[in-house]
A and B are shown apart, each in its own frame.
Chain A
Amino acid sequence: QVQLVQSGAEVSQPGASVKFSCQASGYIFTYYYIHWVRQAPGQGLEWMASINPSGGSTSYSQNFRGRVSVTRETSTSTVNMELTSLRSEDTAIYYCARGAVAGYLDYWGQGTLVTVSS
Chain B
Amino acid sequence: QSVLSQPPSVSGAPGQTVTITCTGSNSNIGADYDVHWYQHLPGTAPKLLIYANVNRPSGVPDRFSGSKSGTSASLAITGLQADDEAHYYCQSYDSSLSGSGVFGGGTKLTVL
Mostly, the A contact residues are strand
Residues in chain B within 8 A of chain A (CB atoms): 2, 33-34, 36, 38, 40, 45-48, 51-52, 57, 87, 89, 91-93, 97-106
Q: How many A-B pairs fall under 8 Å by CB? A: 69
Partner of B103, one of A47, A104, A108: A47
Instruction: Report A-chain residues with C-beta under 8 Å of the C-beta of B102.
Output: 47
**Contact B52 A50, beta carbon cutoff 8 Å:** no
Known: A61-B97, A104-B91, A105-B48. A44 touches B34 (CB 8 A): no
Q: Give the number of chain A interface residues (Cβ < 8 Å).
A: 23
Instruction: Report A-chain residues with C-beta under 8 Å of the C-beta of B106.
Output: 44-45
**Contact A47 B100, beta carbon cutoff 8 Å:** yes
**Contact B103 A45, beta carbon cutoff 8 Å:** yes
A62 to B98, CA, bound (A): 9
Residues in chain A within 8 A of chain B (CB atoms): 35, 37, 44-47, 50, 59-62, 95, 97, 100, 102-106, 108-111
